[in-house]
């Protein structure tokens, strides 16, 4: 038996190889303690993105634009008890220091002209106690442009309380206060929360829940799977310890680098459970096999043989997985980058531990019982399926290829329908209060997308306000646009309240600067100075026009933006465009571009690796086929089923490539080895499927089980991720077991058939 | 020497007496006296209102005001002198004792007088940090008074009087929960008022200075500054000219003649 120095080294200094990684992993718990989760996707945009700079600029001028919105639903919100509850709540919130401003039916103004009077009143001044008064109020609200469809829905079943929190108040404090007050003033109305702070809070809460629940469940499933596979304690302990240490290292790395956990960092431990045990499993499996075949061998002999035979294939498959996963690191957004970098490091650590820590421990153990599975048993269902696959791909290879091709074309056609997610709230489940209230906002309150235009110049001059007014009228003609709010709107409302309908000043922006200045002066006397703060700056040199619109897909969104852009270009006073919707758009575009980068990177890198391993271009091309097939089908499936490309599903291609290519490599090796032993192609294929085929099937099942844990995640995008990654891996497996054999049979590639001793793989 | 001693003793007795007498007064009486000492039946003045935001940007308005007490109400006429774009804008306010105020505005650009009805009273005065309530005499019955102690402000010995809103409605109307008024003992002139919000956190500080004694024996403050400690905004009201009494007749305080 040939002894190689590295294995001897591991055996000689075995305690070092055990203690050092254990201590290192334990030490990494420390940074983890201080780690924090940043659930805000917008925060991950690079700070030099123009949309982000613009948003910051707008916030600097007009204050916080991250309100929390409370939706109240009842049969008739003008009912006395409902209005009393709204009044009590808005009053209570208004008295709190945590909120800068509160908007409800009781704070929104009504500006009304009435026989020479101008009334400036709260939209609801007094709660009606009789039906007649209630209907009168309803009519009044219908005519109040500052309330109708803004704080009360057309059907009077929904009303809002909008809270503008102070910047220094944490999301958690704020949500806590809101829940407290809702309990303090209970009622029958259904209440739904909405707004970016609530979205962040919910994602954070669910991500923490996921981390605390998914990890133990994932580990339990892994333990059970390992135990049922090996029926031996060491078969569980050895891979498990590698997985645990890799999780600690990869997760600990995030705070150590100075990053915050993104919401998809939840995937990292799951990824480790799915991938990091593979290498240990191979070693334990080989140990059990040798233990059964050579009962006379010592533990040392067994370990040395294990490493001698397994080091190269393990290193190569780990390398391809690392390269695939690193595809995420070339993405633009930090969350996928982060996931890519730390999971690649974690996998590398797992590889290192599997080749040092496991043998170091194993060599000190007594030999275990001989496992029956290696003595020979009845064929299982997996064996039978593999047998069938072997025979069909050798007997009817062309049919197999045609079937795969048809599936490819059919599902690939779905790519045309593939949509990109443009709203962050889809991270949460459909039945979540935030998703419900989002639909309500789209249906009754003008939409959830907001975009703000900045006007600069002498805001009191008629030309600017008239431009704003023209923008508003043109925008309101678009079906997507629900509301437009600006200083021009207030001036117009005042012009109706102050002038009689036959007056030239009625319902128009005045032609003189003086008239506008006097309107503004009048408004500032009757309202709160804060009322104006979000519309115009202190010295009347900057003013905002905010557009609310409904857009659930990129196409509608782009159409709305195109119109707004053309309006913006038409006026020299309109200098800037900002808003959360634009940032969400940038995120979507970054996801798409990142996806393309990582696909190109991974496919090229894997093709290159296969070329290097097998010294053949056709190996690189053939080996990439299963990856291309499963990715095209994956994107096609997403298109057909309407699952959108988002920050989590953009990781699928990289991970599927990283894991899926291993199956092909294993298959090529065995096939080549079988052919070297002068078997016919048919026999080689059948033998390969019986042996290696079985191994990769079991391995795939364990990986799929690992990912399946994500089905119980509280975050929808992670559930979708689980579904798609499992689908992709199954396709990779199917390709390796059927398409590759069928192609090999038809093409008879030289890299498999030529005998080359230098290129012997193991 | 002897007379010196007597003088000292007399002064001491006098101080003792003053102190005893002072504490004999209730907090409410002190507050009432402080309000009375700056109260005038009628006057005319020209003032400058400077409004600053939290970045110290400045907005300046020059206004002329005339106030006169009539049988049922105090009537105030306010006219903008500058800036140019609002020059001539006039506001007429009837401050009734037992009913809500009435207000008219004349806008020269529209050449029109309109009555403004607003139910909000805690509103800010002309978009400044002063509230409309700060500009008129407070209703003593809305508050409960307490002497918190004494304090020396700018070398002047002062009372610290707390005035607490009696109920939440009054709080909402005034926009604060309680105020602490610093009143100079000798003159009953208010030096400073601290306003606390509903959570009892400091909200605003009003500093009053440049008191000038008027011919009727009363005092008038020529400088008032309101600092909002929470928002960082502040406003200053400077009196340029003051004249006690007004020659304006009741006719001048009518909506029909506003703007003429």
Q: Of the candidates B201, B219, B210, which has an alpha carbon nearest to the alpha carbon of residue B154? A: B210
Rounded CA-CA distance B164/A572 in Å is 53
Same domain, A640 and A682: yes
Within this chain, do residues A183 and A240 fall inside the same structural domain, yes or no? no
Query: In terms of domains, do A185 and A208 share one?
Result: no
The predicted pLDDT at position B1 comes to 46
Q: Are residues A624 and A652 in the same domain?
A: yes
How close A100 comes to chain B (CA, Å)? 9
Q: How far is A581 from chain B (nearest CA, A)?
A: 29
Chain B residue numbers with beta carbons less than 8 Å from the beta carbon of A118 are 114-117
pLDDT digits (tens, 9 = 90+) for A737-757: 999 999 999 988 888 877 544
- Which residues from chain A sit within 8 angstroms of residue B59, using beta carbons? 538-539
Extract the tokens encoding B78: 């306010």
Asked whether residue A747 is assigned to any structural domain, the reply reads yes
Residues with Cβ within 8 Å of residue A16, at least 6 apart in sequence: none
A539 with B110: Cβ contact below 8 A? no
Q: Which residues of A touch B198 (CB under 8 A)?
A: 95
pLDDT at position A527, please?
A: 63
Question: Which residues of B are less than 8 Å from A500 in CB distance?
Answer: none
pLDDT score, position B111: 86
**Is there a cis peptide before residue B83, judged by omega within 30 degrees of 0?**
yes
8 Å CB contact of A539 and B59: yes
Tell me the per-residue pLDDT of A309-340, one tens digit each, with 9 for 90 and over.
888 889 988 998 999 899 888 888 888 899 99
On whether both A279 and A360 belong to a single domain, the answer is yes
pLDDT tens, A369-395?
Answer: 777 655 556 677 888 898 899 899 999
The Cα of B227 is separated from the nearest Cα of chain A by a number of Å equal to 15
Domain co-membership, A416 together with A464? no
**For the segment A406-429, what is each residue's pLDDT rounded down to a tens digit?**
999 999 999 999 888 888 888 888
pLDDT surpassing 70 at residue B15: no
**Mean pLDDT, residues A269-289 taken together:** 88
Residue A156: inside a domain, yes or no?
yes
Whether A146 and A206 map to the same domain: the answer is no
Residue ending a domain, among A137, A161, A194, is A194
Are A529 and B118 in contact (CB < 8 Å)? Answer: no
Residues A314 and A188 in one domain: no
- Which of B109, B116, B124 is closest, CB to CB, to A515? B109
Top pLDDT among A534 and A85 is at A85
- For B119, which residue in chain A has the nearest alpha carbon? A121
Asked whether residue B12 carries a pLDDT value surpassing 60, the answer given is no
Same domain for A523 and A631: no
For residue B21, name the pLDDT band (cuts at 50, 70, 90): very low
Q: Cβ–Cβ of B86/A521 closer than 8 Å? A: yes
Where a domain ends, among A156, A179, A194? Answer: A194
Residue A759's pLDDT band (cuts 50, 70, 90): very low
Residue A62 lies inside a defined structural domain of this protein: no
* Domain shared by A216 and A352, yes or no: yes
Residue-wise pLDDT tens digits, A194-222: 998 999 899 889 988 988 899 999 999 99
**What is the full DSSP assignment across A592-648?**
HHHHHHHHHHHHHHHHHHHHHHHT-HHHHHHHHHHHHHHHHHHHHHHHHHTPPB-TT
Residue A322: inside a domain: yes
Helix/strand/coil (H/E/C) assignment for every residue in A386-415: HHHHHHHHHHCHHHHHHHHHHHHHHHHHHH
What residues in A contact B108, CB-CB < 8 Å?
A: 514, 518
* Dihedral angle of Cα A347, A348, A349, A354, to the nearest 10 degrees: 90
Judge whether A473 is closer than 8 Å to chain B, CB to CB. no
pLDDT of residue A556: 86
Q: Give the mean model confidence (pLDDT) for residues B107-129.
A: 76
The number of folded domains in chain A is 3
Residue of B nearest to A460 (CA): B85
ipTM: 0.81
Q: Which domains does chain B have, with CATH numbers?
A: 28-257 (2.50.20.10)
Q: Are residues A314 and A219 in the same domain?
A: yes
Question: Does residue A518 sit within a domain?
Answer: yes
How far apart (Å, rounded) are the C-alpha atoms in residues B254 and A255?
A: 72
Say whether both A240 and A290 belong to one domain.
Answer: yes
The pLDDT value recorded for residue A372 is: 62
Q: Check B108 against A518: CB less than 8 A apart.
A: yes
- Residue ending a domain, among A156, A172, A194, is A194
- Per-residue pLDDT, averaged over B149-173, amounts to 89
A501, part of any domain: yes
Instruction: Name the pLDDT band for B20 (thresholds 50, 70, 90).
Output: very low
Which of the two residues, A234 and B172, has the higher pLDDT score?
A: A234
Residues of chain B contacting A516 with CB distance shorter than 8 Å: 85
User: What is the reported pLDDT for A444?
Assistant: 92
- Interface check for A96 against chain B (CB to CB < 8 A): the answer is yes
- Please give the average per-residue pLDDT across A632-654, as a whole number: 91
* Mean residue pLDDT across chain A: 88
CB atoms within 10 A of CB B206: 22
Q: Which of B59, B89, B116 sits opposite A518 (nearest CB)?
A: B89
Strand partners, A148: A152
CB distance from A505 to chain B under 8 Å? Answer: yes
Q: For the residues A533-561, what does the mean pLDDT come to? A: 88
Q: Give the range of the structural domain holding residue A99, as residue numbers without chain letter.
A: 67-194
Q: Which residues of B touch A528 (CB under 8 A)?
A: 123-124
CB A214 within 8 A of CB A44: no
Confidence of residue B192 (pLDDT cuts 50, 70, 90): very high
Domain containing residue A358: CATH number: 1.20.1640.10
Residue A189 vs residue A367, higher pLDDT: A189
In a domain, A580, yes or no: no
B108 contact A CB<8A: yes
Q: What are phi and psi of A698, to 5 degrees?
A: -65, -40
Q: How confident is the model at residue A603 (pLDDT cuts 50, 70, 90)?
A: confident
Share of chain A above pLDDT 90, in %: 45
Q: Is the pLDDT of residue B32 over 50?
A: yes
Provide the whole-model pTM. Answer: 0.83
């Amino acid at each position: 038996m040939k002894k190689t120095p590295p294995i001897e080294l591991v055996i000689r200094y075995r305690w070092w190889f055990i203690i050092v990684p254990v201590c290192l992993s334990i030490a990494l718990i420390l940074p983890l303690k201080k780690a924090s989760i940043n659930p805000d996707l917008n925060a991950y945009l690079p700070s030099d993105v123009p949309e982000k700079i613009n948003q910051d600029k707008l916030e600097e001028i007009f204050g916080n634009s991250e309100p929390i919105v409370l939706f109240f639903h009842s049969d008739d919100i003008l009912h006395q008890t409902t209005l009393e509850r709204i009044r009590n709540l808005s009053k209570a919130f208004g008295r709190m220091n945590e909120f800068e401003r509160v908007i409800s039916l009781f704070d929104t103004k009504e500006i009304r002209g009435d026989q020479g009077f101008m009334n400036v009143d709260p939209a609801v001044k007094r709660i009606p106690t009789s039906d007649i008064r209630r209907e009168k109020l309803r009519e009044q609200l219908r005519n109040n442009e500052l309330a109708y469809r803004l704080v009360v829905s057309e059907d009077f079943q929904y009303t809002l309380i909008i809270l503008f929190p102070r910047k220094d108040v944490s999301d958690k404090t704020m949500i806590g206060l809101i829940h407290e007050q809702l309990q303090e003033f209970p009622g029958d109305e259904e209440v739904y929360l909405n707004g970016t702070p609530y979205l962040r809070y919910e994602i954070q809460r669910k991500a923490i829940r996921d981390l605390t629940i998914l990890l133990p469940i994932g580990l339990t499933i892994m333990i059970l799977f390992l135990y049922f596979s090996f029926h031996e304690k060491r078969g569980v302990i050895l891979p498990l310890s590698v997985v645990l240490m890799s999780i600690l290292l990869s997760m600990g790395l995030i705070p150590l680098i100075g990053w915050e956990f993104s919401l998809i960092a939840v995937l990292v431990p799951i990824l480790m459970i799915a991938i990091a045990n593979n290498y240990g499993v191979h070693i334990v499996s080989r140990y059990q096999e040798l233990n059964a075949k050579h009962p006379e061998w010592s533990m040392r002999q067994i370990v040395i043989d294990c490493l001698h035979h397994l080091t190269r294939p393990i290193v190569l498959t780990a390398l391809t997985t690392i390269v695939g996963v690193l595809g995420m690191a070339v993405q633009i957004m930090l969350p996928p980058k982060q996931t890519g970098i730390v999971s690649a490091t974690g996998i590398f650590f797992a590889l290192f531990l599997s080749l040092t820590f496991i043998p170091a421990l194993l060599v000190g153990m007594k030999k275990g019982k001989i496992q029956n599975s290696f003595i020979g048993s009845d064929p299982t269902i997996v064996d039978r399926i593999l047998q069938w696959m072997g025979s069909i791909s050798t007997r009817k290879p062309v049919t197999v290829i045609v079937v795969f091709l048809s599936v490819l074309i059919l599902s690939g056609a779905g790519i045309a329908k593939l949509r990109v997610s443009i709203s962050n709230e889809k991270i949460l489940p459909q039945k979540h209060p935030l998703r419900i209230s989002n639909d309500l906002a789209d249906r009754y309150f003008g939409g959830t997308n907001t975009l703000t235009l900045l006007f600069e110049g002498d805001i009191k001059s008629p030309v600017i306000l008239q431009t704003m007014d023209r923008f508003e009228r043109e925008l309101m003609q678009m079906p997507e646009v629900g509301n437009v709010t600006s200083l021009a709107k207030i001036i117009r409302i005042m012009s109706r309240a102050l002038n009689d309908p036959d007056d030239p000043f009625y319902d128009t922006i005045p032609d003189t600067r003086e008239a506008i200045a006097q309107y503004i002066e009048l408004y500032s006397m009757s309202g709160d100075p804060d009322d104006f703060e979000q519309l115009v700056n202190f010295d009347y040199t900057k003013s905002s026009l905010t557009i609310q619109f409904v857009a659930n897909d990129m196409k509608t969104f782009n159409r709305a933006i195109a119109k707004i852009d053309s309006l913006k270009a038409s006026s020299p006073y309109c200098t800037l465009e900002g808003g959360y919707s634009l940032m969400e758009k940038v995120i979507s575009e970054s996801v798409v571009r990142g996806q393309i980068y990582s696909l190109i990177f991974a496919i090229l890198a894997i093709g290159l690796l296969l070329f290097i391993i097998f010294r053949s271009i056709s190996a690189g091309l053939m080996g990439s086929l299963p990856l291309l097939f499963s990715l095209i089908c994956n994107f096609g499936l997403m298109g057909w089923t309407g699952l959108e490309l988002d920050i989590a599903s953009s990781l699928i291609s990289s991970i599927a490539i990283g894991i899926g290519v291993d199956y092909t490599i294993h298959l090529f090796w065995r096939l080549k080895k079988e052919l070297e032993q002068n078997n016919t192609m048919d026999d080689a294929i059948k033998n390969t499927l019986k042996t290696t085929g079985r191994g990769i099937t079991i391995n795939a099942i364990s990986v799929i089980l690992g990912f399946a844990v994500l089905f119980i995640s509280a975050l929808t995008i992670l559930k979708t991720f689980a579904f798609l990654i499992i689908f992709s891996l199954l396709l990779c497996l199917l390709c390796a077991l059927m398409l590759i054999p069928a192609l090999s049979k038809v093409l008879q590639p030289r890299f498999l058939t030529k005998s080359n001793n230098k290129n012997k793989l193991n | 020497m002897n007379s010196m001693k007597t003088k000292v003793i007399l002064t001491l007795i006098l101080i003792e007496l003053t102190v005893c007498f002072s504490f004999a007064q209730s907090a409410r009486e002190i507050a009432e006296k402080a309000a009375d000492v700056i109260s005038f039946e009628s006057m005319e003045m020209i003032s400058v209102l400077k409004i600053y935001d939290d970045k110290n940007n400045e907005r300046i308005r020059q206004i002329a005001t005339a106030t006169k007490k009539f049988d049922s109400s105090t009537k105030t006429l306010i006219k903008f002198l500058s800036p140019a774009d609002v020059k001539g804008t006039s506001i007429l306010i009837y401050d009734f004792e037992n009913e809500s105020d009435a207000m008219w505005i004349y806008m020269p650009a529209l050449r029109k007088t309109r009555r403004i009805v607003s139910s909000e009273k805690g509103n800010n005065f002309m978009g400044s940090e002063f509230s409309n309530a700060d500009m008129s005499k407070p209703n003593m019955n809305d508050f409960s008074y307490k002497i918190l102690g004494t304090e020396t402000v700018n070398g002047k010995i002062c009372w610290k009087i707390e005035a607490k809103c009696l109920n939440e409605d009054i709080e909402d109307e005034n926009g604060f929960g309680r105020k602490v008024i610093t009143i100079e003992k000798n003159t009953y002139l208010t030096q400073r008022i601290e306003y606390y919000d509903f959570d009892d956190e400091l909200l605003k500080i009003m500093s009053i200075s440049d008191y000038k004694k008027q011919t009727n024996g009363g005092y008038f403050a020529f400088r008032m500054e309101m600092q909002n400690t929470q928002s960082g905004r502040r406003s200053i009201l400077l009196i340029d000219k003051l004249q006690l009494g007004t020659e304006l007749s009741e006719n001048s305080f009518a909506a029909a003649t506003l703007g003429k």
